Structure 1
Amino acid sequence: MSEEPSAQAASRAIAHAAHVAVPPRSPRQLHRGHGVDLAPRNNDEYDGMKDPQDHLDQFLAKADLLDISDAAYYSFEQLSQRFLHHFAINKRDPKTASYLFTVTQREHESLREYVQRFSEAVLEVPHVNQELLASIMQQNLRMGRFHESIARKPPATLDELLVRAEKYIQIEETSRVKAAIPSKRIIEEEDHSRRHVSENNQKDQRHVPPPNITRYTLLNAPHAEFLAVAEQ
């Protein structure tokens, strides 16, 4: 190959290279699934986004049901290496336990949300013992009632910590619901205040004095009226 294959072309080439089978020679080969149709499907093509090693591992898991000749296997190995090299930029670096120390509880993040996010992060870091996971999560929690509880009696494992967290999750969510509902006393005080303002407005309207209207003599009135006004 003189040119690097595209994502789909490389994926198809790997699929077809592995799809080389020899006639079954024993019941064991038949039991392994020799002759099963493992031709590439559209959803088997590499999309150019995820980790290429994951894609290759998934394909090899399917191709393992086939017997491949030495020559075909050698060609497949070469093509696999070219595939991994071409898409090396998409390869994810393995995460270690130190990564979990960065998964801290955010400000305003509920305990339920944090527990779920930390649990998902744990799945990305294999081979970390339960005791260390519990210690890391305890360190990453924000200060609060749950943090104080596990500080007094540290859990031995992450599973134990999660069981204890469930109780505080329920308390936290119940408190949030109560805080969102106005208390009876607050409602009564607001009603009383509105009634008081309404009564004061009505009193003010009843005590408003009538307007002082000045009467003027019309210019076309008789002379006697003009004289009477002048004498006043």
Structure 2
Amino acid sequence: MKDPLDHIGAFKTILNLQQTPDEVICRSFPATFRGVARVWFSKLPASSIENFKQLSDSFIRHFIGGQQHKRPTSFLLTVRQQEWESLRDYVKRFNKAVLEIDEADDQVIMTTFQVGLNNPDLIFSLGKMPPTSMTDLLFKAQKYMNGEVSLTAKGLMGKRKKDETNESHGKKRDRKDSYSETKAGKSSPNIPRKKTNFTLLVMPADKI
């Protein structure tokens, strides 16, 4: 039983619409139990419940520990697409995280989704034509997810990711080598050139 308060609330809403007597409610409520809730009810002492309020209070006290607590909206900022994670897997993971938080408006959800995004092509597209809603954003993302599927089917997805990584590392290495050469040139002392001695040849003029 994840949320006893929600379970009772849904049950009371249905019964209140029908103006059901308290006695009937008490007898109907156990019919909604499953698993551990049904076991709990079967172990209640006979004649220990006098009305629905007493039954619902006892039910809540027993199962309140299993109530699912929502995460703050800021939790979405911790969800980021990993370097080797596909866009489809990131979308699934992000949507799962959205279900774990308190209610948040569309704008917050869209912003946090884009903050965690690690797909240059989609980032550029969203920057050029900002989505109007989360549904619109996911519709745009679907195009790039389909593209990843096509690349994966051709065996090119892994190569593309690897090439992007190697290119990034190559640029860093080139900058580092350039810096090292410049530093070495500045710190090395001037080395004097070695003089070359020439031997003068003296010959008589008539022999030249």
Give the TM-score normalised by the residue count of structure 1.
0.47
- Pairing 1:55–2:13 present: no
Q: Could you tell me how far apart the structure 2 residues matched to 1:100 and 1:63 are? A: 37
SS at match of 2:130: coil
Q: Could you tell me how far apart the structure 1 residues matched to 2:99 and 2:5 are? A: 18
Q: Could you tell me how far apart the structure 2 residues matched to 1:93 and 1:126 are? A: 9
- Pairing 1:103–2:103 present: no
Q: Could you tell me how far apart the structure 2 residues matched to 1:124 and 1:135 are? A: 17
**Residue 131 of structure 2: aligned partner:** 155
Deviation at 1:175, TM superposition (A): 0.9
Q: Highest CA radius of gyration, 1 or 2? A: 1
- Counterpart residue identity of residue 95, structure 1: R
Moved over 6 A (4+): none
Deviation at 1:94, TM superposition (A): 2.7
Alignment of 1:55-204 (within 5 A): 55-64=7-16, 65-69=18-22, 75-125=51-101, 127-179=103-155
Q: Could you tell me how far apart the structure 2 residues matched to 1:78 and 1:145 are? A: 59
8 Å contact kept, 1:134–1:156: no
Deviation at 1:69, TM superposition (A): 4.5
- Counterpart residue identity of residue 11, structure 2: F
8 Å contact kept, 1:100–1:122: yes
Q: Could you tell me how far apart the structure 2 residues matched to 1:160 and 1:69 are? A: 48
Number of aligned positions between the proteins: 132
Q: Could you tell me how far apart the structure 2 residues matched to 1:51 and 1:69 are? A: 23
**Unaligned ranges ≥5, structure 2:** 27-49, 158-208
Residues 93 and 126 from structure 1, CA distance in 2 versus in 1: closer, same or farther, beyond 3 angstroms? closer
Q: Could you tell me how far apart the structure 2 residues matched to 1:120 and 1:145 are? A: 24
Q: Could you tell me how far apart the structure 2 residues matched to 1:171 and 1:140 are? A: 20
SS at match of 2:85: coil
Residues 54 and 106 from structure 1, CA distance in 2 versus in 1: closer, same or farther, beyond 3 angstroms? farther
Residues 133 and 172 from structure 1, CA distance in 2 versus in 1: closer, same or farther, beyond 3 angstroms? same
Residues 77 and 105 from structure 1, CA distance in 2 versus in 1: closer, same or farther, beyond 3 angstroms? farther
SS at match of 2:79: coil
Deviation at 1:137, TM superposition (A): 0.5
Q: 1:121-147, CA deviations, whole angstroms, 9 ceiling, x for partnerless residues?
A: 334446422222111100111243222
Residues 54 and 103 from structure 1, CA distance in 2 versus in 1: closer, same or farther, beyond 3 angstroms? farther
Backbone CA RMSD of aligned residues: 3.0
Q: Could you tell me how far apart the structure 2 residues matched to 1:81 and 1:103 are? A: 38
Give the TM-score normalised by the residue count of structure 2.
0.52
Q: Could you tell me how far apart the structure 2 residues matched to 1:69 and 1:80 are? A: 12
SS at match of 1:101: helix
8 Å contact kept, 2:88–2:145: yes
